[in-house]
Amino acid sequence: MRHLIDPLDLNESEMQDLLELASRIREDPAAYQEVAAHKKLATLFYEPSTRTRLSFEAAMLNLGGHVLGFPSDNVSSASKGESVADTIRVVSCYADIAAMRHPKEGAPLRASQYSRIPVINAGDGGHQHPTQTFTDLLTILTRHGRLDNLTIGLCGDLKFGRTVHSLIKTMARRKNIKFILISPDELRVPDYIIKDVLVANNIPFEETASLEDAMPQLDILYMTRVQKERFFNEEDYVRLKNSYILTKEKMEAARPDMAVLHPLPRVNEIALDVDDDPRAAYFEQAQNGVYVRMALIMMLLGLTDPKTGKEVSLC
Ligand code: NCD
């Protein structure tokens, strides 16, 4: 049995299989509407979510399966003091697969150690968010037709943004990638990622505070929200929350084929008038999240792809 805790839990060929399956599903979703019949997905969400939880649930329903779970810790036995280890032992009796979001880094990993069903990390604190990264990859592949030879700008809260950490880790495995890390000094990418991922693998990167300077070089601009819930004091959040606002005017300096991604939710870091720009890819990205999660559920459950007649097992 396999879990998905870190984006690198899938090797490169598994990642490619996942993206190919997600693309096949996107072309003909109706062909997949029975493949997970009678299977159950549990969504165990100890932190707020709209897209991730609903896209997991939509993914399982689209595959003909069922969903059960809880949307916040205060309606589960976590509020009575139950550990994630005990919760997952019990959920293993009720469901075939689980997606867990938790404010504590490492909670889904701990759950996986006690689980009898595959556990998917749906975001753990300021650490990792692998399924968002797969969604990002499918969107990049769709927009650019490749995952290599790209200059990727990441902008905003690079310190607490778990989507940023997972995307850097994953894209660092590709060929000829350059990162431009755009943030205020206080919200820089954590040192462990700079050292263990970028420096250790000789990946070119620049750190800058200027979105305007970076803009003309970028193939991808990955905007992020300042992660209010991870700040220790309100004052710092208020000071930093408006550090970057992407506007129509700033888009003029960008390449004609640059793609703007954002994991969403957006607060005010992308002005509404950017939405009509054909380079804005964030709503298409949210849609891709459903196909990628359908593919992932199929692979972790070892289901059969009706298009190829083959099992898509990860084991
Ligand atoms: C992100 C998250 O939860 O980390 N949202 C998401 O899953 N699409 C980004 C965020 O909350 O800013």
Cα 294 to ligand 1 centroid, rounded to whole Å: 19
- Yes or no: say if 302 and 312 are a contact pair by the CB < 8 Å rule: yes
Q: Where does the pLDDT of residue 165 fall: very low under 50, low under 70, confident under 90, or very high at 90 and above?
A: very high
What pLDDT is stored for residue 275 in this prediction?
98
User: 264 in ligand 1 pocket by Cβ < 6 Å?
Assistant: yes
Q: 17 C-alpha vs ligand 1 centroid, how far in Å?
A: 25
Q: Is 255 a catalytic residue?
A: no
The predicted model gives 268-284 an average pLDDT of 98
pLDDT digits (tens, 9 = 90+) for 117-159: 999 999 999 999 999 999 999 999 999 999 999 999 999 999 9
119-124 sheet: strands from edge to edge: 66-70, 40-45, 97-102, 119-124
CB-based burial, 80-94: b 16+ in 10 Å, e otherwise: eeeebeebbeebbee
Say yes or no to pLDDT of 77 above 70. yes
- Whether residue 75 is predicted with pLDDT greater than 90 in this model: the reply is no
Asked whether the predicted pLDDT for residue 314 surpasses 80, the reply is yes
**Cα dihedral 111→115→121→127 (10° resolution):** 30
pLDDT beyond 80 at 294? yes
pLDDT above 90 (res 79)? no
Q: What is the pLDDT of residue 315?
A: 63
96 three-class SS: coil
Specify the ligand 1 atom closest to the Cα of 264: 8
